[in-house]
Chain A
Amino acid sequence: GQQVMQIPQYQHVQEGEDFTTYCNSSTTLSNIQWYKQRPGGHPVFLIQLVKSGEVKKQKRLTFQFGEAKKNSSLHITATQTTDVGTYFCAGLGGTGGSQGNLIFGKGTKLSVKP
């Protein structure tokens, strides 16, 4: 079935270093969403990308949607301890039983050492 893969699974950085997580789909996505889950918390919506090649920025966070709409990335510049958490990408399923459902990647768990 349709899959969304995310790498890396874990990332440990020193505060101030940059961080990037990558998301790849086995099929073309209608759109992609990014969520952040703090330790002990619930996923919180960050952003949605819809257009091919789209780039959006939120302060130190930069989100990109690939030209083929099969991959996406989230880049954090100069990480802070408040960035700690798990970042999930989620793509809208377009085929078979996944149609219309959000398919989540397994997430990248970010830890930041002060």
Chain B
Amino acid sequence: DSGVTQTPKHLITATGQRVTLRCSPRSGDLSVYWYQQSLDQGLQFLIQYYNGEERAKGNILERFSAQQFPDLHSELNLSSLELGDSALYFCASSVVASGSYTDTQYFGPGTRLTVL
């Protein structure tokens, strides 16, 4: 158990819908990262928050957004869902992230999203 929790574990929805994935980082970790894992693309970095502020952006679609709340939990919002959005979404947390050194990232169990 990494100490990172994610809900829900599974999510089945239809195209065009909007869903929210939730992540609670390890106690004491200030950074939260979101990744998308699909079969043929490996782990794709989406976005990072550090202590409530957006820190870095990866290959995140405009239909997706995220935020980190004062209690440090984070939510990833996916809207106008398409079949291709079906994937595992992982949240990871770390203590800090500086520009030249990266802390270990602890991954949550993931949310499996299926878009029908």
Q: Which residues of A contact B (CB under 8 A)?
A: 30-31, 33, 35, 41-45, 48, 50, 88, 90, 92, 97-107
Kindly state whether residue B104 has any CB partner on chain A within 8 Å. yes
* B48: Cβ under 8 A from any A Cβ: yes
In whole angstroms, what is the CA distance A43 to B99 when docked? 23
A46 to chain B, nearest CB (A): 10
Interface string of B65-100 (1 = CB under 8 A from A): 000000000000000000000000010100001111
Q: Which residue, of A44, A92, A100, has the highest number of chain B Cβ atoms within 10 A?
A: A100
Q: Is B7 an interface residue (CB 8 A)?
A: no
The smallest beta-carbon distance between B82 and chain A, in angstroms, is 22
Contact of B41 among A31, A103, A106 (CB under 8 A): A106
- B43 and A43 contacting across the interface, CB-CB below 8 Å: yes
A104 & B106 in contact (Cβ 8 Å cutoff): no
Chain A residues with CB under 8 A of B56: 99-101
B57 CB-CB contact with A under 8 Å: yes
Question: Which listed residue, B42, B55, B90, touches A100 by the CB 8 Å rule?
Answer: B55
Q: Which of B's residues lie within 8 Å of A, judged by CB? A: 2, 33, 35, 41-45, 48, 55-58, 90, 92, 97-102, 104-110
Known: A43-B90, A44-B107, A97-B57. A31 touches B102 (CB 8 A): yes
**Is B48 a contact partner of A101 (Cβ separation < 8 A)?**
yes
Q: List 19 A-B contacts (CB under 8 A).
A: A30-B100, A33-B102, A41-B109, A42-B90, A42-B107, A43-B105, A45-B104, A48-B102, A88-B43, A92-B101, A99-B99, A100-B48, A100-B56, A100-B97, A100-B99, A101-B48, A102-B102, A102-B105, A106-B42
With CB as the reference atom, state the residue of chain B lying closest to A6. Answer: B42
CB <8 Å contact, B45 and A42: no
Given contacts A101-B56, A101-B58, contact A42 B109 (CB under 8 A): yes
Distance (whole angstroms) from the CB of B55 to the closest CB of chain A: 7
Contacts of A107 in B (CB 8 A): 42-43
